[in-house]
Amino acid sequence: MNEKNKYKIAIDTKIKVGGASKIYLRLRFNGLKHDYYFGIDWPIHLFDPQASNLLPRFTCDNEVEGKNIIIGDILSRASKVFTSAYFDKIELTIPTFLDRFKNFVSSTDNFFNYWHNKLENLNNKEIITNQTYRRHKSTRKQLIEFNKNLILPINKIDTQYIQSYDAHLRKRKKYAHNTVCGFHKDFKKYLSLAVEDKLIDINPYKYFSFNFKDGIRDALTALELKKLKEFFIKTKGGDKKEILRRFLFSCVTGIRISDSRQVSANMIRNNALILNEFKGSSRNQKTTKIPLGSFAQELIKGCDGLLFAVFSNKHINEQLKIIAAQAEIDKNLTFHCARDTFGTLFIEMGGDIKSLQMLMGHTNIKTTMIYLKMSDERRQNLMANFDTLLS
């Protein structure tokens, strides 16, 4: 490194509200100085400038280790930028250094940092939805927990590592099959991005396959839906009534739980719900018009702003199981049952598969065909009742 060009970790002498100061990567290029702030604040008296390390603020300070890893990664990346510029025969200035520094990733870099940066970029550019953003953050957290270390070099991830991760999720964490597949799907995505960025040659998932399984689809019958409506009318206020109102609205419109969370009164026009579906990438967002019958209109009558109160999916599904028991419906009720109910009853009442595809926002009609199959199975079971009757 040119003697005129130097870098180190430094701390600001100004103390912010709360008693912490900004930590910088301090650059000096040909007599010019620039402080690059990378988001870490720390008490000035607990910074060791010789070791470029933060000292714990108290016993069992859980944050200090992770922040020191980030600082180490910053210094490592700065060193690699200087090295790569030397071999590329590029004379660095502060702007060219920062440009290369912010975009520099090598196959030995920390995969967790790579994942974080890619995820934030996708979110900032609105390429993914908020729901996907939260899910990918959660998956990254699961992988860190398995790794037992905040550092995972990208080129150290191989098929054996993925197999161990799979066993951890299934045997130790005891996650259901489709939940495990969901974690693999997200993990695979960021490794695919690493291939695109030429950090690795082959995605190790090429040699590890996983497939989602169709769950038990348990749509309500018309009679059961009517029982739930009657139970709703009798139920007084509170979480139970609000969750059931949302569930019934989905039963008669087919909207997903993710969409029901965000629909608002301004999406209702001329007795129809104009829905920009939130599932998947915002680049593929579709607009669906769903006509609202009298019962659906009654369920949202007088609502302003968001149509439904916000609850966690877990709380909603827990309450639905209680509701099913109290309404004497012998089914494992989850919110997705509402969408299945809409699709199945639509077919049973004579609706055509193409119209159902449009109403449910399916890209591929094969997805919609599941409701035709469910309807056929229910008809076969009903016909079997004659055998029981006449035996």
pLDDT at 280: 46
Q: Please say whether the dihedral angle defined by the alpha carbons of residues 20, 24, 26 and 27, taken in this order, is positive or negative.
A: negative
Instruction: Indicate if 140 and 266 belong to the same structural domain.
Output: no
Give the pairing of strands 21-29 and 287-291: unpaired
- Report pLDDT digits (tens) over 264-279: 999 999 999 998 755 4
Instruction: Indicate if 231 and 358 belong to the same structural domain.
Output: yes
- Give yes or no for residue 3 having a pLDDT over 60: no
Under 8 Å between Cβ of 207 and 193: no
Helices (H) and strands (E) in the chain, counts: 14, 8
- Give yes or no for residue 176 having a pLDDT over 90: no
Q: Which residue has the tokens 């290369």?
A: 100
Q: Which residue has the tokens 């197999």?
A: 163
- Global pTM exceeds 0.75: no
Does residue 156 form part of some domain? Answer: yes
Does residue 38 form part of some domain? Answer: yes
Under 8 Å between Cβ of 229 and 248: yes
| Final residue before a domain boundary, out of 103, 134, 153 | 103
| Final residue before a domain boundary, out of 84, 103, 122 | 103
Does residue 308 form part of some domain? Answer: yes
Instruction: Indicate if 127 and 85 belong to the same structural domain.
Output: no
One-letter identity of residue 79? S
Does residue 214 form part of some domain? Answer: no
Instruction: Indicate if 286 and 143 belong to the same structural domain.
Output: no
Of 5, 153, 197, give the one whose Cα is nearest residue 82. Answer: 5
Does residue 216 form part of some domain? Answer: no
- Give yes or no for residue 297 having a pLDDT over 90: yes
Mean pLDDT to the nearest integer, 139-150: 92
Tell me the residue range of the domain where 71 lies.
5-103
Instruction: Indicate if 14 and 99 belong to the same structural domain.
Output: yes
Confidence of residue 2 (pLDDT cuts 50, 70, 90): low
Does residue 215 form part of some domain? Answer: no
Residue positions counted in the chain? 391
Residue-averaged pLDDT of the chain: 88
- Which residues, other chains included, contact 375 with Cβ-Cβ below 8 Å and sequence gap of 6+? 344, 347, 348
Number of domains in the chain: 3
Q: Please say whether the dihedral angle defined by the alpha carbons of residues 258, 261, 265 and 266, taken in this order, is positive or negative.
A: negative
Under 8 Å between Cβ of 117 and 46: no
Spatial separation of the C-alpha atoms in residues 52 and 11, rounded to whole Å: 10
Does residue 217 form part of some domain? Answer: no
Instruction: Indicate if 263 and 363 belong to the same structural domain.
Output: yes
pLDDT at 262: 87
Instruction: Indicate if 25 and 169 belong to the same structural domain.
Output: no
Spatial separation of the C-alpha atoms in residues 25 and 36, rounded to whole Å: 5
- Give yes or no for residue 365 having a pLDDT over 60: yes
Q: What is the CA radius of gyration of the chain?
A: 28
pLDDT at 281: 42
Confidence of residue 30 (pLDDT cuts 50, 70, 90): confident
To 5 degrees, how large is the angle CA 368–CA 371–CA 374?
150
Instruction: Indicate if 194 and 178 belong to the same structural domain.
Output: yes
More confident residue, 374 or 226: 226
Does residue 319 form part of some domain? Answer: yes
Mean pLDDT to the nearest integer, 103-115: 79
